[in-house]
């Protein structure tokens, strides 16, 4: 048991350090402040609406803005964090003084990955708390559905983070993994559309049409389906304390974990013999 604790002591120290350093990054602070302002500001949306309009439209609008804000800014924070935690340490040479200590490369990666997760979780929690409070004040009902939505959103970000992190271990700067992460986020949220493109391809008989269909098919097979994690419609249209419907939360969590483990293993495969 002591040996096991010893193995994880190093990664945990790295994770805490990564978190403490990450929450001070100006870009992330900027994203967080902006997102909190949008969530907070959405409560005053009524000032821009027709006073005769029904309050449920106003509420739907608030919910819609808040869900979109959490989703977009959360994804940006996830991508920027996961893309930079390793390349930044290579750039400023901190990695040399860490990997010259009795830390295995997988332990280092685990520490950085966990640190990135702490940053993502804290940011998500802050946005979620404000949204939660806004809904509770407006409706006077505990918005428990939002908690489920936040949980699923985190698992969506976990997949995104693992993919971006894997790309970052091969890169020398955060630029390429940031682009890669944003690509995964956008295409991962368009997987149904990709399927549609694949199904429709071949109808014109043109080679470009076929090619696009094949590319869409490959992306559909390779990329995770991030649309599954969204409870947006239910949050916007349903009651705040409804149980989540049409989703199997344990399955989605397992799905997210499998993709995350896969992304982490890919990162390790790239990094374990990387010349630093």
Partner 1 sequence: MSRKQKSPEGNGKNGVVPAIRTFNLTKVYEGARASQDVRALTDLNLEVQPGEIYGYLGPNGSGKTTTIKMILGLIFPTSGHVEVFGDGDIGSARVKKRIGYLPEGAYYPDFLRGEEILKYYGRLYGLGGKELDRRVSAVMDQVGISHARKRLLRSYSKGMRQRIGLAQALISDPDILILDEPTTGLDPIARKEIRDILAGLRDAGKTLLISSHELLEVELICDRVGILFEGVLQRQGTLAELLETRDLQVEVDGWKPELAGQLPPKGITLEDAVGGRARLRMPSGTGAEAAVALCRELKLNVASIMPRRETLEELFVRVVKSAKEESLAAAAPAGEDTR
Residues of this chain that bind partner 1 (CB under 8 A) = 6, 9-10, 13-14, 17, 20-21, 24, 92-94, 96-104, 273, 275-276
Q: 2 vs 52, which CB is nearer to partner 1?
A: 2
CA pseudo-torsion sign 94, 8, 83, 38? negative
Q: 96 vs 193, which CB is nearer to partner 1?
A: 96
Q: 51 vs 102, which CB is nearer to partner 1?
A: 102
Q: Shortest approach of partner 1 to residue 18 CB, angstroms?
A: 11
Q: Shortest approach of partner 1 to residue 150 CB, angstroms?
A: 29
**DSSP state letter for 242:** P
Q: Shortest approach of partner 1 to residue 171 CB, angstroms?
A: 17
SS3 letters across 26-47: HHHHHHHHHHHHHHHHHCCHHH
Q: 109 vs 226, which CB is nearer to partner 1?
A: 109
Which residue is listed with tokens 């509420």?
59
* CA nearest neighbour of 148 among 236, 242, 60: 242
Q: Shortest approach of partner 1 to residue 17 CB, angstroms?
A: 5
Alpha-carbon gap, residue 271 to 168, rounded angstroms: 10
- Is 247 exposed, middle or buried (CB count within 10 Å of its CB: 0-12, 13-18, 19+)? middle
Q: 98 vs 171, which CB is nearer to partner 1?
A: 98
Q: Shortest approach of partner 1 to residue 7 CB, angstroms?
A: 9
């Amino acid at each position: 048991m002591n040996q096991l604790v010893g193995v994880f002591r190093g990664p945990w120290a790295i994770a805490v350090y990564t978190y403490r350093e990450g929450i001070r990054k100006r870009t992330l602070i900027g994203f967080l402040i902006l997102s909190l302002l949008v969530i907070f500001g959405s409560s005053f949306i009524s000032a821009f609406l027709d006073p005769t309009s029904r309050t449920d439209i106003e509420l739907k609008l608030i919910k819609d803005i808040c869900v979109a804000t959490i989703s977009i800014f959360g994804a940006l924070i996830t991508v920027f964090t996961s893309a930079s935690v390793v390349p930044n340490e290579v750039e400023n040479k901190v990695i040399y003084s860490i990997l010259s200590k009795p830390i295995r490369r997988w332990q280092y990666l685990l520490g950085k990955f966990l640190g990135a997760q702490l940053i993502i979780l804290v940011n998500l929690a802050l946005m979620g708390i404000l949204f939660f409070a806004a809904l509770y004040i407006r409706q006077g009902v505990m918005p428990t559905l939002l908690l489920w939505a936040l949980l699923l959103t985190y698992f969506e970000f976990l997949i995104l983070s693992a993919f971006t992190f894997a790309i970052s271990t091969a890169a020398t700067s955060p630029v390429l993994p940031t682009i890669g992460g944003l690509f995964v986020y956008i295409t991962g949220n368009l997987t149904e559309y990709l399927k549609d493109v694949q199904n429709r391809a071949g109808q014109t008989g043109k080679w470009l049409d076929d090619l696009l269909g094949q590319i869409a098919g490959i992306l559909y097979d390779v990329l995770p389906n991030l649309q599954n994690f969204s409870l947006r419609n239910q949050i916007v249209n349903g009651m705040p304390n409804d149980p989540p419907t049409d989703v199997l939360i344990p399955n989605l969590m397992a799905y997210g974990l499998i993709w995350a483990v896969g992304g982490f293993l890919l990162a390790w495969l790239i990094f374990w013999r990387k010349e630093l």
